[in-house]
Amino acid sequence: MNKNPWLYIPTLYLAEGFPYIIINTVSTVLYADLGFSNDKIAFWTGWLYLPWILKMFWSPLVDSRSTKRRWLLGAQGALAGLFLLLAGLTAVEAFRFSVQNGSLSFFSLSLFGFLAGAFASATLDIATDGYYLLALTPVEQSKFVGIRTIFYRLAMILGSGILVAAVGMLANPKPGVSLDWVKWPYNWALMFLFLTVLFAAAVIWHQYILPKPAEDKPASFTQGTAWGEAFKTYFTQKNILYILAFILPYRLGDAFLEKIVPLFLLKPQTEGALELSVQTYGLIKGTLGLGAVIVGNLAGGWLLGKYGFKKCIWPFAVILILPNFFYAYMSYMRPPVWIVTVLITLEHFGNGLALMAFSVFMMYISQGAYKTSHYAISTGIMALGMMAPSMAAGWLQMRLGYTAFFGLASLLSLVTLAIVPLSFKIKSIEETEAAFRTHKHSLEDAS
């Protein structure tokens, strides 16, 4: 029996987006709220990118063992269990805060919990995207590709915005700036408990609602053959050096910002930061920021479809690096909250545009029999390009201060503009774009 994809595509991609943002961004907010140092937070949470780098190595296992449906249900169940573990650890830490100022054991144990969650989340990415291709017809895939992107982005902004705002409203270490319904930091334990319930409900719903496509079965090839062929065809394709030189540094400026921006917005003014409350931080990201990302995604898809990759990549790359200069300005001028809100909203809109172009680029170079594995390899290389700068960012910021750090990040982000011309040398982009236009597919659908 065929089921309406509206019943499960939105919930599948909400479930895919939430763990990524919780593990990579909200973990930073949690550790900042508990008072850990910037260099410690940035370095150790930078390791949480590792599963997304390594997922290319076990994606053939997901293809060759069991079904995508079972893999994604198992990954969602594992995430429910891991969030329950993190809820327990955070509750214990909250108790310790009542008698002393936190503990290093919590940082280590929770970090391992986040790392295990990252492996489960990366596996969920592979299984969900594979299931999407098997459960939907090509016509349905074209129809819902924009829907899945919006719900994935929606989960990421809700997770780092509305959910964080709710945590801040429940309790705060500073009296009088929240509702104080629970004792801080038990509010963080409640967040993880909510995520546990959310993913348990997702497993139950998807177990009931997901269809069982006949094509959803273990692939006939062996894991070793698939792995070897996927890597061989990827790294021997034409213009591979240009491809790697484009993917690795494209998001360099973004990588320097990702771990430091939440710390800059939340840490005390005595440290050179803006000292926003957790709820203000969450509300900015979860209201105007949410709308800006969605509008940016839709506008990016429309512009790419109308004008093509080559005409769009230059302005999109410029827009991608602008937030580095925004934060350099904010760290120097300490503007009022309304200006901070406007600049963060513009940052989200620009990211929606620029990352749409990057997604299309990775899709264009991921063709042939192993296109799913090729896309996983590209995202792994991208994650590697994000991981190293983000780990170094905390150490640099602690030694330079926020203003000098954001100034340096602004200069380094100009590398993105330097590598844009390399994308014009990659023939597969022109060929694939021409093929899409010939078959009357839009780039908005392709993304």
Report the CATH number at residue 431. Answer: 1.20.1250.20
Q: Are 286 and 158 in contact (CB under 8 A)?
A: yes
Positions in the chain short of pLDDT 50:
440-447
Cα(45)–Cα(11) distance, rounded to whole angstroms?
27
Number of domains the chain is built from: 1
Long-range contacts of 93-96 (CB under 8 A, 24+ apart): 93/34, 93/185, 94/183, 94/184, 94/185, 94/186, 94/188, 94/189
Per-residue model confidence (pLDDT) at position 402: 97
Per-residue model confidence (pLDDT) at position 1: 53
The owner of tokens 């104080």 is 180
The amino acid at residue 251 is R
Per-residue model confidence (pLDDT) at position 98: 57
Per-residue model confidence (pLDDT) at position 201: 96
Q: Which two tokens stand for residue 382?
A: 């991208």
Per-residue model confidence (pLDDT) at position 255: 94
Q: What is the dihedral of CA 276, 282, 288, 293, to 10 degrees?
A: 120
Cα(303)–Cα(320) distance, rounded to whole angstroms?
16
Q: Which two tokens stand for residue 289?
A: 């920021």
Instruction: List, in order, residues 6 or more apart from 371 with CB less than 8 Å away.
Output: none
Q: Are 52 and 387 in contact (CB under 8 A)?
A: no
Per-residue model confidence (pLDDT) at position 226: 63
Cα(204)–Cα(206) distance, rounded to whole angstroms?
6
For the chain, what is the largest distance between any 2 Cα atoms, rounded to a whole number of angstroms? 68
Per-residue model confidence (pLDDT) at position 442: 47
**Which residues form the domain of 240?**
5-210+219-446
Q: Which two tokens stand for residue 384?
A: 């590697």
Q: Are 16 and 128 in contact (CB under 8 A)?
A: yes
Q: Which two tokens stand for residue 257?
A: 């910002």
Per-residue model confidence (pLDDT) at position 103: 57
Predicted structure pTM score? 0.84
What distances in angstroms separate CA 141 from CA 137, 183, 314, one per listed residue? 6, 47, 29
Per-residue model confidence (pLDDT) at position 352: 83
Per-residue model confidence (pLDDT) at position 308: 84
- What is the enclosing helix (H) or strand (E) of 408? helix 371-413
Q: Which two tokens stand for residue 246?
A: 């484009």
Cα(390)–Cα(388) distance, rounded to whole angstroms?
6
Q: Which residues of 163-179 are buried (b: 16+ CB within 10 A; e: fewer)?
A: bbbbbbbbbbeeeeebe
